[in-house]
A = this chain, B = another copy of it.
Amino acid sequence: MYRLYDYLPSGNSYKPRLLLSLLGIEYERIDVDIMKKETRTPAFLVKNPNGRIPALELENGEYLWESNAILCFLASHGTPYMPTDSLAAAQVMQWMFFEQYSHEPFIAVARFILMHTDPSDPRRAELETKMDGGYAALDVMEQHLAGRDYFVGESMSIADIALYAYTHVADEGGFDLAAYPGVRAWLRRIADRPGHILITDA
């Protein structure tokens, strides 16, 4: 059975948790509190030398880390969430790299700052830049979703799961999705999927 090293509020951690639920795969969930620096202990660094959750422990005892790489692995065994066509598969990767480079560092980090610092914290000064970058990412998503139900092809893939993780809680980072009707319709489509769980669901 897989073992997932997880932190419930983390969108990155939620990605494999959501996919495992959609696929109906049982697994053991281990809570790792990043606020107590439990990802920086010698015991955890053996699992992920980069000191981050999520990490997936396989049945053979090996570890896989990076949320989107875990999605690739879990989706790769003949599931509907990874296209078999090589161009479509590369487009899934394109949107997952977009998520980690142009989306998460703004929307997830703004949410982290708002959730974990008080208004006098110096990190609040970063928020203006985070807002600009986050809205730029949402603009790209809104434009792409015009006339499309999902990011790649005609059905939901791990690209949608990766982008859903922090977009659906963007309000907690101070983002207003009112001007993004395509994004909001897409969020509802993912939320309505049988097997969907909430980010707070253990």
Contact = CB atoms under 8 A, between A and B. Distances in A.
Interface of A: 49-50, 58, 62, 64-70, 72-73, 76-77, 86-87, 89-91, 93-94, 96-98, 100-102, 104-105, 140, 143-144
Nearest to A101: B100
Contacts of A68: 93, 97
Nearest to A139: B49
Contacts of A90: 64, 69-70, 72-73, 76
A94 B90 CA distance: 15
Contact of A87 (B62, B67, B98, B105): B62
Contact of A66 (B49, B64, B66, B94): B94
Contacts of A97: 66-69, 96-97, 100
Number of copies: 2
Contact of A50 (B58, B87, B98): B98
Contact of A73 (B62, B67, B86, B144): B86
Given A49-B140, A93-B72, A77 B66 contact: no
Nearest to A58: B87
Contacts of A87: 58, 62, 64, 73
A144 B90 CA distance: 27
A182 to B, nearest CB: 13
